[in-house]
Structure 1
Amino acid sequence: MHTGTHLAQHHLRAADLRAEADAYRLAAEAKQPHAIRTRLGWTLVEVGLRLASSPRPALAH
């Protein structure tokens, strides 16, 4: 194979790999808001459970 042809194929493959990596990175970033909402939701559940299970002081009359 001619060196110019080999180099052109290498550049095309490198560009394809960069595009694939960018697409993967964008897809991973798009999933982040869902993960943040899930973490926030479980944190709120934990706080609610702690409030519900904490002993309440007796009412003084």
Structure 2
Amino acid sequence: MHPETHLQLHTIRSAELRRQAADFRLAHPRAGTDNHSPRTGLRTRLGLTMVELGLRLLPDGSAAPTRTARTA
């Protein structure tokens, strides 16, 4: 696959994931306000925090370095 095509696909997928994460945060407010056990709330908060951190680590508009297969 051409590098520019790969970069474009990665950019589109990154935007989709960011949009899904934002929609999820709007649909499911932070745990602790519902009747779930405290442990479930902690798991949910930790999971959402890890997703947010991962999304922040993704550079805007650029792809992560990719490995290319070497031909002999």
Per chain length, whose mean CA-contact separation is higher, i.e. which structure has more relative contact order (CA < 8 Å, sep 6+)?
A: 2
Q: Higher helix proportion, which one?
A: 1
TM-score relative to the length of structure 2: 0.41
